[in-house]
Structures are given as C-alpha cells and as structure tokens.
C-alpha cells in the first residue's frame, strides 16, 4: 500500500506540469492512466484500505461500493485526478464551487478538503444516502451544502431516469436517447443553472447528457465571474455547446488537445472518452 500511496502522490503532483499530455489518445496519458488505475485499485478497491493521502487535500476516505457495472474505484479515473489537480492548483483563484451532478460525493469531498465552500447538487435519493455517509466519514459535512435537486434550465420538476445497471449514468428524461437496461422513473425538483452560477465562481458539471440545455441558457454575462469544468456527452451536444459559446464570445479549453484554446468544433470533446471541457470568460486556463 505504501508504494501505491507514493505513486499516487507523485502522479497528482506531476499532473499540472504535464497538462499538454492530458489528451487521452497520447502515449503519456496511457502511461499515466496505467499508473493511476494500479494505485486506485489497491488503495480504494474492494480489499483496499479505502483511504489515501491526496496531495493538498490530505487524507480522503472513500468506502468501496458497487453501482451496477460501475464501482467507486472508477470515480478515481485519471481524468478525475486531472480535475482534482486543477482544483488544488486554483485555490487562490476560486473560493466557492458548485458540484453539479454530485453522485456519491467524491468531488465535493476533495473540494471541501482543499478549503472550498461547496454546494452539491444530486437528485437521486440512492446516491444522496451514500453521499451523506461519505461526507460524514471525511468530516466535511459542515463544509458542503447538499441540495437534493437536479440543475436544469428553470425551477420546477422533471422526470428522472435511474439506470439500475449503472446508476452513475442516471439522468433527466430526454438527456439520452434510448436508455438501456432496467429503469426506475420518478420526479425530481430542479433549480435554474444561472441561479447556481451566480452564487459561485467555479462549477463542475457532470449531468449525463443535459449539459447542452444548461449551456444554451447562459449569456456572456454569466461567464464573466464563473468558470466551468464540464463533461460533454455526445457529438450533438459538443456541436451545440461550441456554437453557443462561440457565438457569445466565451472561451473554451479542451483536454482533447492538451488544454489548448478551442478554435474549432473538432477540438471539443464529444464524450467522456475524450476528456473534459473548460469554459471561461477569461483569456486563459490557469494551471499555475
């Protein structure tokens, strides 16, 4: 376990310095991903200690749990570790963060341990129960304001679809075409994304296909003091996000190209398999 801890610490420290190699199709990414997978499996896997020191965030405790075909170790993938390293490097640039699509709380825990004020939005009661447990075992319950709501375009309620075979893929109705497997459907309350953005200076958005609807209702004014790290779920959403942000003059930086400034649609990730997209009204993405 000591060796895995040392490798994880070294990896987290190195990620900001190797950002130009974060594109998922590169040899360096594949090497780093192998290291990350090995460390995470030993530290947070079913038979692991379920805890590790994560650089500036200190010790993170995360009990193993299965969520269908996905388990809690998958939440520590290299792409997530890259985002965690971005959080760590930007503690002087941001102070209030919204975790939209909080799942079972890993991002909120890391953010809270880094000293951020966190508002977490998660509509699924099944995930909320695990999220509350994870916040408690990390002693950050008082640092994270949990909202049992989905974030959408307006206040109200919408149908939510839970995928029992992979609850991390659960989503608002209409966000994905032809959801698969055994499903449960129920209504959830919603809060407008622009209201959330106005209360924070950074948002993490992982909403399983609903990201285009959120981005489309934003204006250039909304992005003047709020940045976002977002997962794009499909080529259609990638095109819509790019067209809208390009039209209103908001900048994008893509993991797909080693976090270079996006100048054309081909540079935008079209699924989680191509990494994240950073959105900002600023002229650069700060890794220093």
Burial degree of 285 (CB within 10 A; 0-12, 13-18, 19+) = buried
* pLDDT (tens digit per residue) in 39-84: 999 999 999 999 999 989 999 999 999 998 999 999 999 999 999 9
Helix (H) or strand (E) holding 235, with range, is helix 235-248
* pLDDT (tens digit per residue) in 94-104: 999 999 999 99
Tokens 């991390």 locate to 168
Residue 288, in any domain of the structure: no
Q: What is the pLDDT of residue 21?
A: 95
The larger pLDDT score, comparing residue 15 to residue 177, is at: 15
- Among 16-25, 84-93, 172-181, the minimum mean pLDDT is found in 172-181
The whole-angstrom separation of Cα 149 and Cα 80 is 23
Kindly tell me if the per-residue pLDDT of 242 is higher than 80.
yes
- Average pLDDT of the chain is 96
Residue 285, in any domain of the structure: no
Residue 110, in any domain of the structure: yes
Kindly tell me if the per-residue pLDDT of 180 is higher than 90.
no
Kindly tell me if the per-residue pLDDT of 210 is higher than 90.
yes
Among residues of the chain, what percentage have pLDDT more than 90? Answer: 95
Q: How confident is the model at residue 111 (pLDDT cuts 50, 70, 90)?
A: very high
CATH number at residue 112: 3.40.50.150
Q: Which domain holds residue 15?
A: 2-280
Secondary structure class of 98 (helix, strand, coil) = strand
Residues paired with 185 in a beta bridge: 161
Residue 130, in any domain of the structure: yes
Q: How large is the average pLDDT for residues 227-254?
A: 98
Cα-based distances in Å from 178 to 9, 173, 174, 183: 41, 10, 9, 11
Q: How confident is the model at residue 179 (pLDDT cuts 50, 70, 90)?
A: confident
DSSP annotation of 220 reads G
Burial degree of 242 (CB within 10 A; 0-12, 13-18, 19+) = buried
Kindly tell me if the per-residue pLDDT of 197 is higher than 90.
yes
Q: Which of 151, 92, 141 is nearest to 118 (CA)?
A: 141
Residue 59, in any domain of the structure: yes
Tokens 């055994």 locate to 182
Helix (H) or strand (E) holding 261, with range, is strand 260-261
Q: What is the pLDDT of residue 1?
A: 80
The whole-angstrom separation of Cα 197 and Cα 193 is 6
Residue 286, in any domain of the structure: no
Q: How confident is the model at residue 178 (pLDDT cuts 50, 70, 90)?
A: confident
Residue 287, in any domain of the structure: no
Q: How confident is the model at residue 251 (pLDDT cuts 50, 70, 90)?
A: very high
Question: What is the distance between the terminal CA atoms of the chain, rounded to a whole angstrom?
Answer: 30
Residue 95, in any domain of the structure: yes
Contact 169, 163 (CB under 8 A): yes
Domains in the chain, number: 1
The whole-angstrom separation of Cα 134 and Cα 215 is 30
Q: How large is the average pLDDT for residues 26-47?
A: 95
Q: What is the pLDDT of residue 16?
A: 94
Q: What is the pLDDT of residue 79?
A: 97
Q: What is the pLDDT of residue 12?
A: 94
The whole-angstrom separation of Cα 212 and Cα 285 is 21
The whole-angstrom separation of Cα 201 and Cα 28 is 31
The whole-angstrom separation of Cα 233 and Cα 214 is 13
Q: Is the dihedral of CA 11, 12, 18, 22 positive or negative?
A: positive
Kindly tell me if the per-residue pLDDT of 288 is higher than 80.
no
Give me Rg for the CA atoms of the chain. Answer: 18
Kindly tell me if the per-residue pLDDT of 230 is higher than 80.
yes
Tokens 């896997």 locate to 45
Q: How large is the average pLDDT for residues 177-181?
A: 82
For β-strands 183-192 and 202-205, DSSP reports them as unpaired
What is the phi/psi pair of residue 230, to 5°? -130, 145
* pLDDT (tens digit per residue) in 120-172: 999 999 999 999 999 999 999 999 999 999 999 999 999 999 999 999 999 99
Helix (H) or strand (E) holding 112, with range, is helix 106-113
Q: What is the pLDDT of residue 48?
A: 92
Kindly tell me if the per-residue pLDDT of 239 is higher than 80.
yes
Residues, the chain, total? 288
């Amino acid at each position: 376990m000591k060796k895995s801890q040392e490798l994880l610490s070294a990896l987290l420290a190195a990620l900001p310095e190797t950002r130009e190699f974060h594109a998922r199709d590169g040899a360096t990414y594949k090497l780093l991903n192998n290291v990350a997978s090995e460390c995470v499996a030993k530290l947070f896997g079913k038979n692991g200690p379920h805890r590790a020191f994560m650089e500036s965030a200190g010790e993170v405790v995360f009990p193993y749990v299965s969520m269908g075909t996905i388990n809690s170790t998958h939440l520590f993938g290299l792409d997530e570790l890259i985002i965690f390293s971005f959080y760590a490097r930007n503690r002087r640039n941001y102070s209030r963060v919204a975790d939209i699509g909080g799942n079972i709380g890993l991002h909120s825990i890391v953010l809270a341990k880094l000293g951020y004020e966190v508002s977490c939005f998660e509509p699924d009661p099944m995930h909320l129960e695990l999220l509350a447990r994870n916040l408690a075992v990390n002693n950050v319950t008082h640092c994270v304001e949990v909202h049992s709501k989905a974030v959408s375009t307006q206040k109200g309620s919408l149908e939510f679809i839970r995928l029992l075979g992979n609850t991390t893929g659960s989503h608002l109705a209409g966000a994905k075409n032809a959801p698969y497997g055994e499903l449960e459907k129920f209504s959830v309350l919603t809060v407008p994304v622009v209201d959330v953005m106005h209360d924070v200076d950074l948002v993490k958005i992982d909403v399983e296909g609903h990201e285009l609807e959120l981005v489309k209702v934003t204006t250039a004014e909304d992005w003047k003091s709020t940045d976002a790290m977002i997962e794009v779920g499909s080529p259609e959403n990638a095109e819509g996000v790019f067209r809208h942000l390009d039209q209103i003059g908001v900048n994008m930086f893509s993991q797909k190209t080693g976090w270079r400034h996006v100048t054309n649609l081909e540079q935008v990730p079209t699924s989680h398999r191509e990494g994240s997209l950073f959105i900002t009204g600023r002229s650069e993405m700060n890794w220093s």
